[in-house]
């Protein structure tokens, strides 16, 4: 049976259902992207952590795997365009970070490190050029305002642009840049908090999805896409009721069969409860919601500072690689949102999309009328 559940976002992005899969770095490769698009949602390649060649291959694989609309996501904060310069990082900060990481290295049998980490790759502009050249239908942005010129360049190629924000003020700013839709990311969301600037403290710029969506809907005229804690049909319907025209879902897709997350990570998601997450900058240098593990707990206890965005990842890469190789979830980056408490299985992307649309349809068509007794 083909269930219809359409909003005007579907027309805008040329998709059947108003469901966008987050372009998750290290989770959403070409297989997941193509599977989501084939199932009627918008699959999005997590391009932020790929190099230019990997991204080119992924885009071509998606084009080979689906003739439906799809997207590519990049992170566009100013501290990646280009990355913070080496001379702007003090020797004291490097020493403090390495001293915080060295006890973990000792536990994992890795050599101690005191030197500077290698610089994160400066590839954002090249990847933008590639996305344009490949005529990718949707460009999805996290952590930055693309500005009117870049949006206009994408529009001239016939591509749509969506940008993710955490406040009504930032939503107005990206609307002014001309983006086609805005993703309102509530504090429950997994992965990086989509702040343009790193706030002083992790919780100083965090509004929950339930309160953020109506505020952003009031602030802008473009369609709003809700993100943060949505894992099922109730969440989809709730987002629409709050005024969103669609949802962006990340954490729920981590345990799908097409996701490239390693098994240790998928299992940790299924085992976790909603209170099992924390917001930390110890993984990348910017605040992100992840599952608590020994890495996040140890780093917090040291009180050490962190390096700028992706310099921190570069510093801890030996630890993350070793954790993956030896299957130790305790030292692996487990990006995830508070919705983990509702994730208990490993469906295909198609099974999940059918399920969420079926649940949402059932809620709207029959359950709501039974749950609420309204007299006029």
Ligand X SMILES: Cc1cc2nc3c(=O)[nH]c(=O)nc-3n(C[C@H](O)[C@H](O)[C@H](O)COP(=O)(O)O)c2cc1C
Q: Among residues 189 and 219, whose Cβ is nearest to ligand X?
A: 189
Pairwise CA distance, residues 251 & 22, whole Å: 9
Q: Is 191 in the site for ligand X (CB under 6 A)?
A: yes
Least separation, in Å, of the C-beta of 42 and ligand X? 12
Q: Among residues 84 and 249, whose Cβ is nearest to ligand X?
A: 249
For ligand X, which stretch binds (CB under 6 A), given 34-42, 64-72, 166-174, 244-252? 244-252
Q: Among residues 113 and 295, whose Cβ is nearest to ligand X?
A: 295
Residues 6+ apart with CB under 8 A from 25: 46, 47, 48, 49, 50, 191
Q: Which of 29, 41, 228, 276 binds ligand X (CB under 6 A)?
A: 228
Buried b (16+ CB within 10 A) or exposed e, 199-225: eeebeebbbebeebbbbbbebbebbbb
**Count of residues interacting with ligand X (CB under 6 A):** 31
Q: Is 142 in the site for ligand X (CB under 6 A)?
A: yes
For ligand X, which stretch binds (CB under 6 A), given 93-101, 155-163, 184-192, 322-330? 184-192
Residue 194's nearest CA partner among 228, 224, 223, 220 is 228
3-class secondary-structure state, position 119: coil
Q: Among residues 33 and 98, whose Cβ is nearest to ligand X?
A: 33
Name beta bridge partners: 141: 74, 163
Q: Would residue 227 be called left, alpha or beta, if left means φ above 0 and alpha means ψ between -120 and 50 degrees?
A: beta
Q: Is 124 in the site for ligand X (CB under 6 A)?
A: no
Contact 2, 25 (CB under 8 A): no
Contact 80, 309 (CB under 8 A): yes
Q: Which of 84, 268, 337, 360 binds ligand X (CB under 6 A)?
A: 337
Binding site for ligand X (CB under 6 A): 22-25, 27, 46, 48, 73, 75, 142, 164, 185, 188-192, 227-230, 248-252, 254, 335-337, 339
């Amino acid at each position: 049976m083909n269930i219809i559940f359409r909003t005007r976002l579907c027309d805008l992005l040329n998709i059947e259902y108003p469901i966008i899969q987050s372009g998750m770095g290290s989770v959403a490769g070409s297989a997941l992207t193509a599977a989501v698009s084939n199932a009627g949602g918008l699959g999005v390649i997590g391009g932020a952590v790929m190099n230019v060649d990997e991204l080119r291959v992924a885009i071509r694989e998606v084009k080979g795997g689906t003739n439906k609309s799809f997207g590519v996501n990049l992170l566009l904060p100013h501290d990646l365009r280009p990355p913070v310069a080496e001379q702007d990082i003090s020797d004291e900060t490097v020493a403090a970070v390495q001293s915080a990481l060295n006890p973990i290295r000792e536990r994992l049998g890795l050599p101690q490190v005191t030197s500077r980490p290698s610089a994160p790759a400066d590839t954002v502009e090249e990847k933008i050029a590639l996305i344009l050249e490949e005529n990718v239908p949707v460009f999805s942005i996290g952590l930055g305002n693309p500005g009117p010129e870049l949006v206009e360049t994408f529009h001239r190629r016939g591509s749509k642009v969506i940008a993710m924000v955490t406040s009504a003020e930032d939503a107005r700013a990206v609307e002014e840049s001309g983006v086609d839709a805005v993703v309102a990311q509530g504090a429950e969301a997994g992965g990086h908090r989509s702040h343009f600037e790193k706030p002083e403290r992790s919780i100083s710029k965090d509004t929950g999805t339930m309160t953020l969506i109506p505020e952003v809907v009031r602030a802008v005229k473009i369609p709003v896409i809700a993100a943060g804690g949505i894992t099922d049909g109730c969440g989809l319907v709730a987002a629409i009721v709050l005024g969103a025209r669609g949802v962006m879902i990340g954490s729920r897709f981590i345990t799908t069969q097409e996701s490239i997350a390693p098994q240790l990570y998928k299992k940790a998601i299924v085992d976790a409860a909603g209170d099992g997450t924390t917001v930390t900058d110890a993984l990348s240098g910017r605040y992100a919601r992840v599952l608590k593990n020994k890495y996040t707990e140890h780093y917090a206890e040291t009180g050490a500072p962190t390096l700028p965005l992706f310099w921190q990842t570069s510093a801890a890469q030996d630890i993350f690689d070793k954790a993956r190789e030896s299957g130790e979830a305790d030292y692996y980056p487990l990006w995830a949102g508070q919705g983990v408490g509702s994730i208990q299985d490993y469906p295909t992307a198609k099974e999940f999309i059918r399920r969420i649309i079926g649940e949402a349809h059932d809620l709207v068509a029959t359950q709501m009328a039974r749950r609420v007794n309204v007299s006029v």
